[in-house]
A and B are shown apart, each in its own frame.
Chain A
């Protein structure tokens, strides 16, 4: 196996041109090294892009958004005051990823490019309507995260491209949000079911202007519960309204049976945890409005 440690994007493009599909990009390595050890991938060349951290390892506030370099560590996302101020939801979510050892190494971009539907961050990033920036020789394109995550471990990174940045729009006014992770086994496990919910209230402080719900670990990608979102928009969020919305979620998910629970059990749990998440997101939105 060949190994390259480029320090500029141009060098990364050169390496990708040379090795094509036989190359794998690596940042923290926590995902890829495990896949190599399990012989799920056998790259001809490993391209370690950690050396680009000077350019893509920072968080940059912009007018109405935050630009997060792909090489920012997940530990930084959890501990940075800038991130917590901008999005407590995101800081809380990164805190739930595996263990500190993993978060010290794993990066924001690496995690997303891994395309694993059981990870925590994509669930909340979906609710926050994050976008990813993909750089190629012909320029940079920006893709909605929900479109970027295409299938099980499959993303919209095209040949010759590198995920360089994540763009995080500000949460709507008068909104509250929460990430909930159902962990019946151990605290560092993947979720059995996870859900992020965001509720934005109208000027009256009662009517739901917008609700967002995304689930993790119950399909080949994270899944937006659009039926639930549609039901809640424009409604006063009573317990009944939240119950009715959560009841649409099991039909939208497609979990697998594994040692974290049967498919049927997980499907039932998506309703329970969506209800809890919406209730908490509403409470936080009301607090923010009060």
Chain B
């Protein structure tokens, strides 16, 4: 049986009918065409599917669409405004904070959420916050450097 839900995604409201087991990551990717959010491990560990839901980072692979009913979701596509990258996005480019790019949307969304509540995090705070976002290419130094570079700017 399908259930009606309303989601606000990147500021735009969507009304959908979904099976109770349909995952937010699948709604974003298949129903709304927002393929920036990636699905990696599918068990809430790797962080590739990180999105903001009512300003809090969550694993969209563990979030049911029905449970997101009425919530405001922000994906990586919703960060840049008028094609202008956020400082945290530009910093990932400038500091080589990615290689293959699969983990990057999740990294960037998680880093933005950190800078929103803590504009000048210490390295320890960055590591603590970001430990749930795995990267299999870069190692983590470039990611930490990117976040440090963006810190203090308007993110």
Contact = CB atoms under 8 A, between A and B. Distances in A.
B47 A104 contact: no
Contacts of A26: 64, 67
B45 to A, nearest CB: 7
A105 B63 contact: yes
Contacts of A75: 56
Interface in A1-49: 1-3, 5, 26, 29-30, 33-34, 36-37, 46, 48
Given A3-B20, A5-B69, A101 B59 contact: yes
A99 B131 contact: yes
B43 A100 contact: no
A2 B20 contact: yes
Contacts of B47: 99, 101
Interface residues of A, number: 25
A32 to B, nearest CB: 9
A33 B56 contact: no
A203 interface: no
A187 interface: yes
B117 to A, nearest CB: 10
A188 interface: yes
A29 B64 contact: yes
A223 to B, nearest CB: 26
A188 B66 contact: no
A48 B67 CA distance: 7
Contacts of B56: 75, 104
A186 B130 CA distance: 13
Contact of B44 (A2, A34, A186): A34
B1 interface: yes
Given A30-B44, A34-B43, A188-B45, A46 B59 contact: no
A30 B110 CA distance: 18
A101 B50 contact: yes
A110 to B, nearest CB: 12
A46 B57 contact: no
Nearest to A42: B21
B119 interface: no
A99 B110 CA distance: 11
Given A1-B21, A29-B62, A99 B132 contact: yes
Contacts of A188: 45, 131-132
Given A30-B44, A188-B132, A105 B66 contact: no
A98 interface: yes
9 contacts: A2-B1, A3-B3, A29-B62, A29-B63, A37-B43, A46-B20, A46-B64, A48-B67, A105-B63
Interface of A: 1-3, 5, 26, 29-30, 33-34, 36-37, 46, 48, 50, 75, 98-102, 104-105, 186-188
Q: Which 7 A-B pairs have the closest CB atoms?
A: A99-B132, A3-B20, A104-B56, A187-B131, A101-B59, A33-B62, A1-B20
